[in-house]
Amino acid sequence: IHSEDREAVRAVAAKALPVGADYETEYRVVLPDGAIRWLHSRGRVELGADGKPCRVHGVSSDVTERKLSEKALLESEMRFRTVADAAPVMIWMSGTDKLCNFFNKGWLDFTGRTMEQELGNGWAAGVHTDDLEHCLEIYGSSFDARQPFTMEYRLRRNDGEHRWVLDIGTPRFSDDGAFLGYIGSCIDIAERKQAELDHERQNMELARVGRVALMGELAASLAHEVNNPVGAIVTNASAAQRLIAAGKLEPEELKDLLADIVAD
């Protein structure tokens, strides 16, 4: 047995032998050629009539490949966490159960919360109540379809202000195609959203000014159309008044002037 594992194996034996209990442990053994292999051992201690251990039934199997794979995976995860924590964006990960199991330093610094608070569905506590239902709907439907997604929502910052963020999620798969969950990244887009809002307001103001200008042009046009016939009416009426005053207006002429006024 490898020198670093002997104490742990002795502790397992010391616990199982006196009471005839089951045992299970993993440890390294050093082969004659110096190679190191991992063994998984499990069994049961049998007690004799005198209550003392008399026999041990068990089996040991070589689990070196599994242990090496676990070690490689652990090292890979540690490298990923190191890179993720150094990234200038917020990063999250979830498993096949839809629950989040990792948030990088960028996310935790932004929200001002601990990893324990954010794990599972804890992160949802920071999403604005008006955005949460839509956010969960997009996440859930995309997750079930194993499809990438993009969504925008307001996330509470460590100072209490809700900031607009852009969240891009991508499904994760193992080398053999097995679904592993999702990984996502978020960036603060509050300034962009404010710029879009300002641009929309400017467009609305320009549209309003345009409508006012158009109404002014229409009013001027109507005034011109009205003023022309009014001018003709006034001219004809004035002429009729002068002729009547002079006593020179015949009935037929008066009739013609009145007809012109009515026509105008």
Residue 71 lies in a domain: no
Let me know whether 95 and 46 are in one domain.
no
Residue 176 lies in a domain: yes
Let me know whether 241 and 153 are in one domain.
no
- Distance, in Å, from the CA atom of 24 to the CA atom of 11, rounded to the nearest integer, reads 11
Let me know whether 54 and 122 are in one domain.
no
Residue 240 lies in a domain: yes
Structure tokens at 62: 């070589």
Let me know whether 167 and 209 are in one domain.
no
Q: What is the DSSP string of 119-133?
A: TBTGGGGGB-HHHHH
Q: Which of 154, 188, 222 is the last residue of a domain?
A: 188
Q: What's the CATH code of the domain at 147? A: 3.30.450.20
* Nearest Cα to Cα of residue 124 among 168, 133, 96: 133
For position 121, what pLDDT does the model report? 96
The number of C-alpha atoms within 13 Å of 68 and in the hemisphere containing its C-beta is 7
Let me know whether 152 and 207 are in one domain.
no
Let me know whether 18 and 96 are in one domain.
no
Q: What is the DSSP string of 91-103?
A: EEEE-TTS-EEEE
DSSP 180: E
Residue 1 lies in a domain: no
Cα separations in angstroms, 140 against 37, 39, 102, 184: 44, 42, 18, 14
User: pTM value?
Assistant: 0.59
Q: Which residues contact 122 (CB under 8 A, 6 or more apart)?
A: 100, 113, 116
For position 124, what pLDDT does the model report? 97
Structural domains in the chain (count): 3
For position 66, what pLDDT does the model report? 92
Task: Give the domain extent around 160.
Answer: 87-188
Residue 10 lies in a domain: yes
Let me know whether 138 and 230 are in one domain.
no
Let me know whether 167 and 236 are in one domain.
no
Q: Which residues contact 190 (CB under 8 A, 6 or more apart)?
A: 163, 164
Residue 193 lies in a domain: no
DSSP 250: -
Residue 77 lies in a domain: no
Let me know whether 180 and 216 are in one domain.
no
Let me know whether 128 and 174 are in one domain.
yes
Residue 67 lies in a domain: no
Q: Specify whether the CB–CB gap between 61 and 39 falls below 8 A.
A: yes
Q: pLDDT tens, position by position, for the chain (264 residues)?
A: 999 999 999 999 999 999 989 999 999 999 999 999 999 999 999 998 888 888 899 999 999 999 998 898 888 888 989 999 999 999 999 999 999 999 999 999 999 999 999 999 999 999 999 999 999 999 999 999 999 999 999 999 999 999 999 999 999 998 889 999 999 999 999 988 878 777 677 777 667 666 666 666 666 665 555 455 555 555 655 655 565 556 555 556 555 655 555 555
Let me know whether 139 and 181 are in one domain.
yes
* Nearest Cα to Cα of residue 104 among 94, 121, 89: 89
Q: How far apart are the first and last CA of the chain?
A: 120
Q: Specify whether the CB–CB gap between 62 and 37 falls below 8 A.
A: yes
Let me know whether 122 and 177 are in one domain.
yes
